[in-house]
Structure 1
Amino acid sequence: MQRMLYDATTLIPVLENYYARHFSFKYIYFLGDAGFDASDNYAYLVKYRNLIPIIPLNLRHQSNLPKPDFNSLGIPTCPNDPNLDMKFDGVTREKGRSDRIKYLCPKSKKCKVNDRTAYHLACDNPCTTSTCGRVVQISVNSDCRLNTALPRNTQQCQDLYKVRTVCERAIAQLKSCMNIKSTQLIALIIFYKSGKFSNVRAIKTLIA
C-alpha cells in the first residue's frame, strides 16, 4: 500500500522533470500499473500532456458498500432511495491527494456535543454501519479517471497494457546490470567522468 501511495503522488513531478529534459519527445499512451491510479494523475496526463492513460483501476480503492446514483446535476443520491439527494458537506483537502467534494447522507444531521461536531442519523435502513451515515467523496478529477479515452475493457487497451510488463523487465535488467541499488561507487565514477558534480547522489537524474 505504501508503494502505491508513493507511485500515485510522485508521477507528476517525475514526468515534469522528464519532459523538461526531453521536451521534443512525443507520445500517445502512458502505461502504468494500478499504483498510478489516482485522479490527479489522470487529469495531468489527459489535460496537460495530451496522453491516453492505460492504467488499471486499483481495487483497493473500491468500497463494498452499495454505489450511489447521480442526479442530473451530478449530485450523488441515496443508494436506497434515488429520490433523496445527498447533502454537500464541504471540500476535503489533504496533502498529496486531489481535492474531494464531500457529500453526506440526506438523513444525517450535524450537531454539537460538548463543543465537538457529532452526527445524528435518522434512518431505518442505513446502508452503512457508520454513525454519521453514508459519506461519499468525489474527486474533482474523477471524470478523467473513470471515463478514459480508451476504455479499459477494449482489446486494444489490454494489448497495450501488456507492453508495460516488457518495459518493467527491461528496466529491471538495466538496474541489475548497473547494480544501481547497492553500488554508489559506480555512480560516483560516472559523475566524475561526465563532469556533472551538482547532484552526485542522483544517479536516476543522470540516466533519465
Structure 2
Amino acid sequence: MFCINKLKQLNIFDQIAELNGLTKKQPVGFIKLLGDNFDIESFIPQSFTQKYYANLGRDRKYELTSVLSSLILMQVFHIPTTVLLSLFLVFSTEIREFCCFYDDIPDDSFFSRFKTDFEGDIANLFNNMIPQTIDICDEINESLPDDSPSKNLNSELIYDTSGLKPRVKENNPKTLVSEVNRMKSYAKATKNKQLNPYAAAYKNMPKFAHANNSIKLDFVNGHFGYFYKFGLITNGWGIPLNLKFFDKYFYKNIDKEFETPEDQKYCYDNASLKPVIKPFLETLKKTSNFKFKYFLGDSEFDSYDNFGFLQQCGFEKVFVPLNPRNQGTSKIGDLKYNVQGIPLCPLDETLFKAEGPCKGKNRSLRFKFTCPKSHRDKKGKCYHTCEEPCTDKKSGRMTYVYPDKDFRLYPGVQRNSQEWDDEYPNRACIERSLSSLKSNPCIESPRSLSTSTMRADLFLTGISKLINVILAYAINKPEYIRGITKLLKIAV
C-alpha cells in the first residue's frame, strides 16, 4: 500500500550514457522541423498577449513567443529545472536563435515567475490547441484503411485521474513507515489481531501537507501519499485533450471522513467525472463539430448518476466495468442477474451466453442471452445438452434484456461480449499517456511546492504532446503522433 521512494544516486557512468544517447537523436534537426511546421503565435490567446505586455506598463525585454518557445523546448528535451534551461540557452547557439534571444537571455528566476504569473494563460494556450488537434486526428482517421486496428479510435473518449507527488515532508518514506510501525506495535501490545495497521495509519496521518493544503492525502498509483490530483482526458490514441486539477471547491463538496484510502479514491474519482467531462464537451461544441461516440473508464466511475450523465452527453456506448460494491445480484422473474446485468443459470448460476443485440421491426433494441449449455451446429441451429433442462424447448432457455430500461447495466454494449473484450483494453492508452507525461523530470517529482508552477509545468508538457501531433501530421508521419522520441531520431 505504501510506496518507498528509492532515490537514485548520481553516477558519472549514467551521465555518460545519457550523453551518448543524445548522439542517436537530432535535436538541431528537430528545432528546424519545429520552426518550419509550427507557429506558436497563431495559438496564443489575445488575452495572454495583452496580459503579458500590460503587466508592467512598459515594454517587455523578452518577447512572449520567445519565452514560451524556450519553456516548450524544456519539456521536449526533458530539462528538469529552469537553471539548466538557462545554461542550455547560454551554450546552445541553435536553441538561442530559435527562441530569438539575440542580445540577452532570461535567468532562471524569470522563468519561475513567468510560470507562476501566467499559469492560467498557459492553460488557455493548451486549450486553444485542442480543436486543431481533434481535427487532425479526424483527418488521420479518414485516411486509415477500414481494416486498420486504429480505425475510429479517435472517436473514443477516455478519462482517468492521477496526481503529482511533490517533495513535501509528509511524502518522506520514513514518515509513512514510522506511522505504520507504530500501529503495528500498538496492535501487538494490545493483542488486537483485527487492527489493520495500514488503515489505522491512514486515519492518523494529516489530511494535507503542511507546506501546501492543496497537496492532499490520497490514493494514487496503488499507494497513498500526498498528491496534487488532476483528471486527464484523451482520445483512443492517447492524445491528451484536457487537464483539470482538483481545487478546494471540488474537495469542499466532498467533506467527509473515510475509513480506508480505497474508499476515498473511489469517492473522489467517482465525483470528478462530471466536473471534468461536462465543461470539456460544452467547450468542444463551440469550437468543433466533432462528436465522441464511445466513453471508456475504469470501475471507479461506476454509479447511476455517472451513467445517466454520460447518456445525456450522447455517448452511444459506455465501457465502464461495474463496481461490485454498488449492487448485489438482482432477480427478474425466475432468473437471477449478476452485477453486470448478465442472466444466471437457475441451477448453478453459470453465466448465460451473450448472443448480441437484435432489433425487429417496430421493436426496441434487445440483447439476447442463451443457456450456458446450449450449442449451435454447422447450420446455426441451437440445441442444449443440459441434463436438467428448465424448459421444454430443444434450443434451451433463452431470454432478452432491454438496455433502455437500465443504461448502467446495458450501456449500449454487453459486458461479456466479444465487442467489450476487443474495445475495453484500449483504455490502457490513457495509462501510457499518463506515464509519458510523468516521464518528464519536472512532472515526475516536482521540486516546487507552488501549485501554480506545477500546473504550468503539466500544461507545458501537454502542449509539447499536442505539438508532436501537429508535426507528425505536417510531415505525413501519423504513426509518430504519440511519441516525440521518434521525431527526434528522424529529424535532420
TM-score normalized by the length of structure 2: 0.23
Larger-gyration structure (1/2): 2
TM-score normalized by the length of structure 1: 0.50
Larger % of helix: which? 2
